[in-house]
Amino acid sequence: MRRSAGRDTPSPEEPPAEAAPPNVPGGRQAARPARRRSGPRWLAAAVLLLAVGAAASVCVGSEPSSPAQIWHALFTPSGTTMDVTIRELRWPRTLTGIAAGICLGVAGTLTQGHTRNAVADPGLLGINQGAALAIVAVTAVAGQQLPLVQAVLAFAGALLASVLVFLIGTASRHGQTPVTLVLAGAAVTALCTGLVTGIVLLNAAALDTLRFWQVGSLAVRNDALPAVWPFLLAGLLLALLNIPALNTLALGEDTATSLGTSLLRARCAGIAAITLLAGTAVTLAGPIAFAGLLVPHLARALVGADYRWLVPASAVLGAALLLLADTAGRVIARPGELSVGVVLAVIGAPFFVILARRRKLVTV
């Protein structure tokens, strides 16, 4: 470069770079527009998918039913066999699937957001194994329990396991962080698994109960929904209140703190919401795997990373996915059925492998 008249001029071998204005397409300085995602549009599509899943769940069974029969059974029942089947079996099962799917979808999104781990699900916090330990331990001591009692035990065990994970995670010298939560969750899960294994090896009744409970199905806990809906509503309310904190935490803890977000308060609300929602889901349908992992990624691909749209989309997609998987299990194994846990495991295992191999899919 040669200096002339106090300013830099380019040498002949270095032609000046053409500075394109920011608004000129193809200019070097032009910012590439980000792909816009329409949250309301995709959320409406998810609601439509949920309606289709609910209709299929009510219509499909060992004996198919028409929309007219469904209308007759729900609004003008006359006591026919199909009326009884729809009102006492299929409709409660559909409501259970919607409630459990909402819980799993939102709990999975909150878990991935707070742990900053794209392959995390509610089971990471020891919820499933905590619920299993409570049921198995009481069965070994007091014998076989009624389904509603088992549901309450499952929720209590999940709650205790989550609280224990939180206490261990905050006892670290560096305070409560995503890493300490993950490590504490792994430790509590391993402890509960070991205790469950020891109990079932010594008690046949506990083994039978565990075998029945761990299937993960919408068909066995239809009477639990009236008992747990307050916990479901409380968990959803906490999740909604946690949305602003999740959006700031996605920018990093230092940035979130500088923006006035209390990390302790945000994490406490998040852990409480995850515990209530995942514990409710386990109570309703057992430890269904992969739903809490799959749904947040599907919702994020549709509506983006803004939790104002991500949380509602996860709730709707979770319910739709659970109902469609349950219906598919009834179709595949007719006249019997495959449990929804088995169907989701078949779908979720390949997705988990793809997620681990494709780095661009694991950003939270």
- pLDDT truncated to tens, each residue of the chain (364 aa)? 444 444 444 444 444 444 444 444 444 443 344 444 577 888 999 999 999 999 999 988 777 788 888 888 888 888 888 888 888 888 889 999 999 999 999 999 998 888 887 777 887 778 888 888 888 888 888 887 776 787 788 888 888 888 888 888 777 676 666 677 778 888 898 999 899 888 888 887 777 777 766 677 787 666 778 878 888 999 999 999 999 999 998 888 788 888 888 888 888 888 889 888 988 888 888 888 788 888 999 999 899 889 999 999 999 999 999 999 999 988 887 777 888 888 888 887 787 777 667 655 444 5
* Domains located in the chain, CATH noted: 96-361 (1.10.3470.10)
pTM for the structure as a whole? 0.81
Identify the pLDDT of residue 63: 77
Identify the pLDDT of residue 16: 44
2: β partners: 9
Identify the pLDDT of residue 49: 94
- Per-residue pLDDT reduced to its tens digit, 72-129: 888 888 888 888 888 888 888 999 999 999 999 999 999 888 888 777 788 777 888 8
Are the beta carbons of 312 and 127 closer than 8 angstroms? Answer: no
| Cis previous bond, 335, omega within 30 | yes
Place of tokens 């929309």: 67
| Cis previous bond, 92, omega within 30 | no
Identify the pLDDT of residue 293: 86
Q: Which residues contact 313 (CB under 8 A, 6 or more apart)?
A: 39, 42, 43, 46, 299, 302, 303
Q: Is 344 exposed, middle or buried (0-12, 13-18, 19+ CB in 10 A)?
A: buried
Are the beta carbons of 281 and 100 closer than 8 angstroms? Answer: yes
The one-letter amino acid code at 30 reads: A
Closest by CA to 192, choosing from 225, 158, 221, is: 158
The total of other beta-carbon atoms located within 10 Å of residue 91's CB is 18
Identify the pLDDT of residue 98: 95
Are the beta carbons of 319 and 105 closer than 8 angstroms? Answer: yes
Are the beta carbons of 103 and 317 closer than 8 angstroms? Answer: no
